[in-house]
Chain A
Amino acid sequence: MKKGQKILALLLAGVLSVSMFGCGQTKQAAGDAKEVATETESEDNILRVATSFAYPSLDVHKEYYGWYTSIYGISETLFKLDADSKAVPFLAKDAVADGTTWTITLNDSVAFSNGEALTADMVIRNIQRIAEINSRFDIFGTFTYEAKDDKTIVISTGDEVYPTLKSDLASPEFGMVDLDHTKDFDHNPICTGPFVIQEFIPEGDVTVARNEHYWGGDVNLDGAIFYYMQEDDPKLLAMQSGEIDCYNSVSSAALEVYKQEPDKYNVTSVAGTRLQFYIVNENRLDDAVREAITLTVDKDAIATYLKGTVTAASAPFPSTSAYSQVSIPAVDTAKAKKLLEKDGYTLNADGIYEKDGKPLQINIAYYAARSLDTVAILMQEQLRAVGIDSVLTVEEDPDATYISTGDFDLALYSMISDKCGDPLYFIDSTLAKDAYYNVGGFEDAKCQELIEQLRVETDIDQRAKLANQILQIAIDDHAFGYVGLFNHTTVMKPGVSGFAEDSPFDFYGIDANTTK
């Protein structure tokens, strides 16, 4: 061996030895640290959660930040939405409507984490602040407010009846904040929830500690840490390594892994409020084709393909809600074919229906998010099987393209269908005349009449009835197809419970009853 080679060999051996020793030491040290950490993690009463979103502010009233202060268990609202999407009392005892006047009574014992009582005046100022800084709720700026006494608020909605006030007040943006004593709304709002902010990293991790003065009584957890983790794989690995205790919005791939070890992971799943749906363009497709599409699209098959991430939908809302009681025709491809043939279509040599020498080909517009790309391909296959050809058009921004131009035969879209336990928002956004998402030419006098009634009806049961009638008209007209509702899927370590796992809404998380 030459001298140079010897030196090189020695050098390499030295580097390797040092590296191996170093690695061994590092591994041992890291292993020790991890052992201690794991021991501490399992022993302490701190819940560790992975979250997919993080925001630069904790100002409950701004943007959608209130969704997260609600998830973190910091802020609470006058009413809360239960598993059946009903607004039930929370900070308030009750809300009674009398025409354009609402009377809200607060619970006597409610106090902020600093011990200050929640008063009617504070509630009014909170609502006024929301109207001022959150343009989605600017209508609340047109109402007049009066504190009848320390615990009673009277809200006058002017000339118009405003039946959704109670459910609107259940929106997380209406979390109550101590406006007099909060010094930093963006980083440390003083609220009424069972937890208070311990550390907040803007667009990063959030640590909360138990509110020792919680008005609702005992709080089970000592605190919680919310780790901002967008990617699915690190969440799965962190769950496997024991660094996190729970998270929701579990991917289908991770779901398969968790299901294989039921003794290690509890997985719960309820249909949520995020809807996949399609709009059929009535200006371009005649009745027979629209009905044939309805009879062909197999939502159950799509849900099965999406492996537990969605539940096949019959209505735009979870089936547990009173306003999703509609009937939809069963999948019947033979009937779909008959309908087309009755309408003058004949099958050509390629197995595609044609009329007057023109093949039946529709344009399916979609965007590649919320699994709509998969839905588009599956629908294309299903339609092709009955003789309806289709071309897929993908857009990056549906609102700026096919939703605003109406240039589609069938358009896929995904949105929150129920934001606060009431059907009006979705119906008003998609079915009302000139609605933002009524871009397929759907128009029905009876439906519009019912929508106008829904706008002023204050009785909850009657509202559900009206909503069901409205939705049924749109379904029977084959104007829309409600494909699936994303499941609110939560994975938890054994022992963890009360992480809003039975709620269809995205904005609930830990509360006083959450355990680890």
Chain B
Amino acid sequence: MKKQIAIRVIELILLLIVLSLLTFALMYIAPGDPAEKRLSSQGVAVTREVLQAERERMGLLRPFFVRYGEWFVGILHGDFGISFKDDLPVAPKLWNGLQNTIVLAMGSLLLSLLVSVPVGIFSAVKRNSMFDHIARILSFVGNSLPNFLISVLLMYFFCIQLDAFPIIATGSLQGLILPTLSLAIPMASRFTRQIRTEVATQMDEDYVVGLRLKGVKEHYILLRNVFHNSIGHIFTIVALQIGTLMGGSVVIETIFRWPGIGKLVMDSITARDYPVIMGFVLIMGTIYVGINLISDIVNRIIDPRVEW
């Protein structure tokens, strides 16, 4: 396993180099001028001379490989560069955004699992029961609603109708509840359906029929065999979701004034703030591949038959 992990780590490094080069190239050829975005950020036009001087100052007129090389050398030294938008260091911006995103992501993931795992399993066990029907309908609705609608509805219901939370509550634990719920509702709905399907599939397997015929108790089969065989699949689903969550949710972060990485990167794309975008791509690439690697290792530990 150690050898396999070492290979995957080398693959990760190569992947990140290719990813960064591709991203840099795409930004280089994409229309948009960071100098113009910066100078005209309030809609005020500037002269050609001022614009050209700003491009020169920002180093935008240098050749592609010089710029990429400089950025790459900086990364090797742990320097993510300076933001085109405001001349501030990129690393603290990304770190602050990532920290806030992790808090929100982990809170919503935990809440989703607390709801979806028991509901999904119980739904599968009690297939076509009233509980199953209600769970399926609710999970279908939860999965269908867009994030912004869930956010605004929750805000309206809890803050205006129930008067339970303030609209402006960022920075407190109270301020975490509604954005967590907004993220958790569609995620829990998705997980519930996936867990239900996985457990139901396992329940139909021959080994379950055999165990039943042998007289093994239902809850014993469920916990000892079915859940054990499903856990790898569920873990993979959750791992993939973590990767997505780490990218942040622009809509939820904006509505709830949560200064996460999603909003940071969206603002950076609008401003053509390439150093921030590059840093984001690098971090997200590492997180995605890292989580996949962990998922593979865990799957392998749970079930040694799983191949790399």
Contacts and interface: CB of A to CB of B under 8 A. Distances in A.
A436 B159 contact: no
Contact of B164 (A30, A67, A203, A228): A30
B265 to A, nearest CB: 14
Contacts of A436: 45-48, 51
A400 interface: yes
Contacts of B47: 428-429, 436
Contact of A234 (B31, B57, B255): B255
A416 B42 contact: yes
B111 to A, nearest CB: 13
A229 B257 contact: yes
A334 to B, nearest CB: 37
A135 B56 CA distance: 12
Nearest to B167: A238
Interface string B145-169: 0000000100110011011111110
A437 B41 CA distance: 16
Nearest to B51: A436
Given A135-B53, A136-B50, A233 B155 contact: yes
A204 B170 CA distance: 10
Contacts of A430: 45
Interface residues of A, number: 51
Contact of A228 (B40, B54, B167, B257): B257
Contacts of B155: 233-234, 237
Interface residues of B, number: 42
Given A34-B166, A63-B41, A416-B43, A135 B31 contact: no
A399 B168 contact: no
A163 B159 CA distance: 54
B126 to A, nearest CB: 10
B88 interface: yes
A233 B255 contact: yes
Nearest to A434: B48
B44 A419 contact: yes
A16 interface: no
A221 to B, nearest CB: 19
B86 interface: yes
A4 interface: yes
24 contacts: A4-B219, A30-B163, A30-B165, A31-B163, A31-B164, A56-B86, A56-B88, A63-B86, A67-B42, A227-B257, A230-B254, A231-B254, A233-B152, A233-B155, A234-B167, A234-B256, A237-B159, A415-B40, A415-B45, A425-B45, A430-B45, A436-B45, A436-B48, A436-B51
Instruction: List 8 A-B pairs, minimum CB-CB distance, nearest first.
Output: A400-B31, A429-B45, A238-B167, A416-B43, A397-B32, A27-B164, A397-B31, A64-B42
Given A34-B166, A399-B33, A425-B45, 10 more contacts: A27-B164, A63-B38, A64-B44, A135-B54, A233-B155, A234-B256, A399-B36, A400-B32, A415-B44, A429-B45
